[in-house]
């Protein structure tokens, strides 16, 4: 796609920036140049040339050389272990760093929607995708909503030990009682104001999918 107006393509901006910073190794003239550089330093991609990618069946990595057929399905014959077998092992259950309690009785999960990508810097500009889901919301089970007298479409307040967010309640049976679901796409319903910062000890992945929150009606407005 041609960049709009006077804009440069992203790769040109990076190349120009690198030159301004006096960095070596950025003498690229095309996206293909850059890709070939990626191939040079990434053995699993080195067989994936532009010419091969032009073919309708394309190439799947790992593809270590030009004459390698590519690998559409990983680990089909054997796993990458010493004996080539997959190994099962037991794990002790360890509860999430924060679980629901009497003060914060709901478990908040976060996730994505089909219609948006991350913080919508791209998908938020697409008219059609914006039409599909224009704003953030929280899904709440119909039993919980009935108990708390929350109507579908009502603005409610969610609070965790880290912060609070006001957003629209979507009453549904797609989530179980006691569970709330928010997406990570919307700044005006920023789920990560609520999520926990605890990290997985091994992968250091933050525990964004599980945090304890409470739900309150917003009174005096509406």
Partner 1 sequence: MAAKGDMVYAWTTSPDIASVAECGGAVTGLLKYALENKIVDAVLAVKKGVDLYDAVPTIITDPAELSETAGSLHCGTLLLSKLVKKYLGGAEDMRLAVTVKGCDAMGLYELAKRNQVNLDNLLMIGVNCGGSVSPVTARKMIREKFGVDPDDVVKEEIDKGQFIIVTKDGQHKGISMDELEDEGYGRRSNCRRCKMKVPRQADLACGNWGVIGDKAGKATFVEVCSEKGADLLSRAAKAGAIATEPANPKGIEIRGKVENAMLKLGDKWRGRYFEGLGEGKERLQKMMEDASRCIKCYACIENCPICYCEECSTKKPYLVPPGVLPVPFMFHLIRFAHVADSCVNCGQCEENCPMEIANSLYMHALQTDMERMFGHTPGVDMELPVLALVEEQAERQRLSATGSDQIFDVFK
- For residue 56, the minimal CB distance to partner 1 (Å) is 4
d(CA 219, CA 94): 39
- For residue 124, the minimal CB distance to partner 1 (Å) is 14
Q: What is the DSSP letter of 68?
A: S
Taking residue 63's Cβ as centre, other Cβ atoms within 10 Å add up to 21
For residue 159, give the 3-state DSSP assignment.
Answer: strand
- For residue 113, the minimal CB distance to partner 1 (Å) is 7
- For partner 1, the closer of residues 52 and 217 by Cβ is 52
Residue closest to 211 by CA, chosen among 157, 152, 162: 162
Q: 70: phi > 0 → left, psi -120 to 50 → alpha, else beta; which?
A: left
- For residue 207, the minimal CB distance to partner 1 (Å) is 26
- For partner 1, the closer of residues 1 and 51 by Cβ is 51
- For partner 1, the closer of residues 61 and 115 by Cβ is 115
- For partner 1, the closer of residues 133 and 182 by Cβ is 133
- For residue 128, the minimal CB distance to partner 1 (Å) is 7
Sequence-distant (≥ 6) Cβ neighbours of residue 157 within 8 angstroms: 164, 165, 166, 215, 216, 217, 218
What is the DSSP annotation of 33-48? HHHHHHHHH-GGGTT-
d(CA 215, CA 179): 11
- For partner 1, the closer of residues 96 and 124 by Cβ is 124
Residues forming contacts to partner 1 in the complex (CB under 8 A) are 51, 54-57, 113-115, 128, 131-134
């Amino acid at each position: 796609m041609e960049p709009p107006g006077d804009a440069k393509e992203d790769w040109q901006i990076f190349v120009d920036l690198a030159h301004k910073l006096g960095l070596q190794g950025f003498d690229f003239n095309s996206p293909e140049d850059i890709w070939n550089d990626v191939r040079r330093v990434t053995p699993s991609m080195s067989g994936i040339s532009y010419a091969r990618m032009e073919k309708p069946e394309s190439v799947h990595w790992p593809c270590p050389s030009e004459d390698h057929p590519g690998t559409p399905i990983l680990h089909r014959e054997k796993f990458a272990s010493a004996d080539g077998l997959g190994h099962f092992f037991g794990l002790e259950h360890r509860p999430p760093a924060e679980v629901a309690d009497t003060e914060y009785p709901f478990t908040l999960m976060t996730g994505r929607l089909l219609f948006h990508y991350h913080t919508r810097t791209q998908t938020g500009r697409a008219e059609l995708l914006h039409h599909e889901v224009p704003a953030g919301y929280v899904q709440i089970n119909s039993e919980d909503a009935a108990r708390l007298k929350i109507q579908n479409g009502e603005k409610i307040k969610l609070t965790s030990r880290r912060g609070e967010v006001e957003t629209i309640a979507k009453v549904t049976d797609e989530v179980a009682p006691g569970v709330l679901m928010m997406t990570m796409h919307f700044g005006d319903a920023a789920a990560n104001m609520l999520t926990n910062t605890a990290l997985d000890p091994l992968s250091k992945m933050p525990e964004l999918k599980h945090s304890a929150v409470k739900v309150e009606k917003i009174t005096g407005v509406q």
